[in-house]
Amino acid sequence: MLIKARRNIRYHYNEPDLFIYGSNEIIKLKLSISEYDEITSLISKAYQGSEETALFEEFNRYTKLIQFLIEKHVFYLIDPKVYDLHKNSLYLPWVEEQCLSVEKGLRDIEKICVNIPSSYFGAIYLSELLAENHIQHEIVEVENIEVLADGKIAAYYYIGKKEDRIWVSTRNHPDFEAVSAEDISEKLLAGFLYYGAIISIIGKEAPVFNINSLMEVERKLAFDGIKKVDYQISGRTPQDAIKNYNSLETFVKKYDSKIVSFNKNKAYFTYNQSPLQIITVQTEDDENYFFADISYERLAQFLSEAAFIEILKNSYSKDLLLKQQGKVIYSTQHHKTGKLYRLDLNELDESELISSLMNQEKLSTNFYLQACSRGGYYLYAVNDKSEAFIFQLPVKTAAQLTTVLLTWISMHMNDVSIKESFFQTIDLNELHLKEVSSVNWEISNQENLVIGQQTTVGKILSDHGFEYELLEEVE
């Protein structure tokens, strides 16, 4: 067997400590300068690939260290015949980075076959690149590029143009336009497709690329919709609203989902964000969702505990749950129940701010509440023109209600349309205002025994520090 060092490991020496950055952890060794010189010689030999017995004999002082580095996946063992077959390929460093078992990864690559559409303008160039790296392929009558593993489809790749970007994606976006050689070079596309074909087989997720007019590349990971999956939950108690919101941002930036961005709508930098701060969310259906609050932490918490899960439902047509230690925090299945109650703004902590901003914007609005079947209340707004609106998400806490009221004000401050929020115009006659009675503000926390199934998006968010469990609701 050969002993080989992974190309993606890094190390540096700060006397007397040598730090080796492995696949999953940092290894710290205390070494003299002479020992450091010997260890760097050992690593250099292993970079080139060294016969196992010969390396142990040459560095017999470091037998236990070599074994330790193999256990920690800094070095790996590989059949010399397999290594010789793949050592000059472009993909070997990718396999060393992606796979704990490099030999298995290389053997998996041997089973790849790429079907290239005969109609694709870059078919010949892609075929030549695959041939140079000994990847099986065919130019055939198929609609899109197919990546097969052991004869079974592992991934599709679609090439499309959307606004000013070229996409190399595992999803066929609904508004993709055709791409030609005038838009992008076949050589550049071949590199993305070759990399995608390899990583879609040996990696956890296939890569997705979009390239702007300046040839700047954004890389994401494929997200194949909300699916059921089992994983171990951490049982963390939510404490950090900003951390949870950052988890949502990480998901959107890292994965090619139908939620494409935060704060990237064209009008974002023209908004008046004093004193109310604004977060917007964009989807691939060109929807823009608008939220505002004077407290960024409270605003982030509203996104994490309510708004984002509703946007997921709208994008993927699945009913979802948010739980924390078994308790339902939010459900996308909710229905109105009971009569209306007049909302007394004076009962809210931010009542002075809300009233002041409404006076400033000359907003004459009355607000009403109606209980939700699963806890919390729906908020209604009726203006001085007798126009009525409902916020379609039930608010579960006084903090959430404050965010929604400040969102209503900020929308008017910035001339944001009703369709860019979860507010919806309704018929005033639906409200039966004659039945309204005035009550103090009190949030309902109705408990429900609701069953949910763990999801792919829930696992991704959990892996990135999200302190709630996001589930698909099971009827």
Within 164-303, residue ranges assigned H as helices are 186-202, 241-254, 296-302
Task: Specify the residue for token string 């002075």.
Answer: 352
Encoded tokens for 269: 């930098």
Residues 6+ apart with CB under 8 A from 273: none
Tell me the C-alpha distance between 293 and 278, whole Å: 7
So what's the pLDDT on residue 441? Answer: 44
So what's the pLDDT on residue 439? Answer: 53
Stretch (H or E) spanning 409: helix 398-413
What region, left, alpha or beta, does residue 235 occupy, with left being phi > 0 and alpha being psi -120 to 50 degrees? left
Beta partners for 277? 293
Tell me the C-alpha distance between 341 and 368, whole Å: 5
Tell me the C-alpha distance between 298 and 200, whole Å: 39
Q: How far is CA 125 from CA 128, 129, 188, 396, in A?
A: 5, 6, 10, 57
So what's the pLDDT on residue 325? Answer: 82
Tell me the C-alpha distance between 91 and 100, whole Å: 15
Within 258-395, residue ranges assigned H as helices are 296-302, 308-316, 351-360
| pLDDT in 10s for each residue of the chain, 475 residues | 999 999 888 898 888 999 998 877 889 999 999 999 999 999 999 999 999 999 999 999 999 999 999 999 999 999 999 999 999 999 999 999 999 999 999 999 999 999 999 999 999 999 999 999 999 999 999 999 999 999 999 999 999 998 889 999 999 988 899 999 999 999 999 999 999 999 999 998 999 999 998 889 999 999 989 999 988 876 666 678 999 999 999 999 999 999 999 999 999 999 999 999 999 999 998 899 999 999 999 999 999 999 999 999 999 999 999 998 888 889 998 888 777 888 888 888 899 999 999 999 999 999 999 888 777 889 999 998 999 999 999 998 899 999 999 999 999 999 999 989 899 999 988 887 766 665 544 555 545 566 889 999 999 999 999 999 999 988 7
So what's the pLDDT on residue 440? Answer: 46
Residues 6+ apart with CB under 8 A from 149: 108, 111, 112, 201
CB 443, CB 323: distance < 8 Å: no
CB 403, CB 302: distance < 8 Å: yes
**Is the entire prediction scored with pTM above 0.75?**
yes
Q: What would the DSSP string read from start to end of 35-96? A: HHHHHHHHHHHHHH-EEHHHHHHHTGGGHHHHHHHHHTTSEEEE-HHHHHHHTTSSSHHHHH
Task: Specify the residue for token string 């991934």.
Answer: 155
Q: If we measure between CA atoms, which residue out of 410, 334, 406, 429 comes closest to residue 377? A: 334
So what's the pLDDT on residue 154? Answer: 94
Tell me the C-alpha distance between 290 and 268, whole Å: 10
So what's the pLDDT on residue 8? Answer: 86
- Tell how strand 145-149 and strand 388-395 pair up: unpaired
- Size of the chain, expressed as the number of residues it contains: 475
**Residue type at 297?**
E
Tell me the C-alpha distance between 318 and 333, whole Å: 10
Secondary-structure breakdown of the chain: helix, strand, coil percentages, each rounded to the nearest 5: 35, 30, 35
Q: How far is CA 90 from CA 83, 86, 116, 170, 309, in A?
A: 13, 9, 20, 22, 41
CB 278, CB 271: distance < 8 Å: yes
Neighbours of 212 (CB within 10 A): 12
